[in-house]
Amino acid sequence: MIVPQAFVVAGLVGGILYEPPEIHRHLERHIFLQGNTDLGGGCLFAGTLALYVAFGFTTAWYLTLKMQESATPASFGGRLLQAIWFLKFRIVAFAVGGTAHFGYDARVTPNDFRNMFLLTAVIYACSVLVIAALHSTSLSPVPRLLLAPLFTILWR
């Protein structure tokens, strides 16, 4: 579901739903999705950011459910390694997709794609740490699923 999610979310937001502020002249609209658009690329940036958010939610829920159905390692380090193992394909997809526009970013001074990639990597890492910690608690699956994307929610 990683590749279809990428095409649907990035295509929907970047190609259909989002209009750069240069078109509608309302700078306060969609502030979260705006990057530096001096050389264009506003829709590309908006699609990338929307994909980071969607990816943050679905990955957190996937990891929570995947860890619940497997045997629990005794230590936090073991749970963390198990979580990283479960996310191996998602980590590769994030690294490849997130760095895909670094060449475009080299022409723009604020380097929005690189900055957001690094911020998102920190947010995802914090989410994995929280999910690994939640897995050792006695919480039922519903509160775990609600708390799993906490850092993505706080970021947005």
Residue 37: pLDDT above 60? Answer: no
Q: What Å distances lie between residue 108 and 37, 88, 93, 114, 150, CA to CA? A: 8, 31, 24, 11, 31
**Which one has a higher pLDDT value, 104 or 99?**
99
Domain count, the chain: 1
**For residue 131, what are its two tokens?**
């999910």
Lowest mean pLDDT among 19-23, 46-50, 126-130, 134-138: 19-23
| Domain membership of residue 133 as a residue range | 2-155
Q: Would you say residue 125 has pLDDT above 60?
A: yes
Hunting for tokens 């619940």 — which residue is that?
Answer: 68
Within a 10 A sphere around the Cβ of 18, how many other Cβ atoms?
Answer: 21
b/e sequence 67-94, b meaning 16+ C-beta within 10 Å: beeeeebeeeeebbebbeebbeebbebb
pLDDT confidence of residue 116: 84
Task: Tell me the whole-structure pTM to 2 decimals.
Answer: 0.80
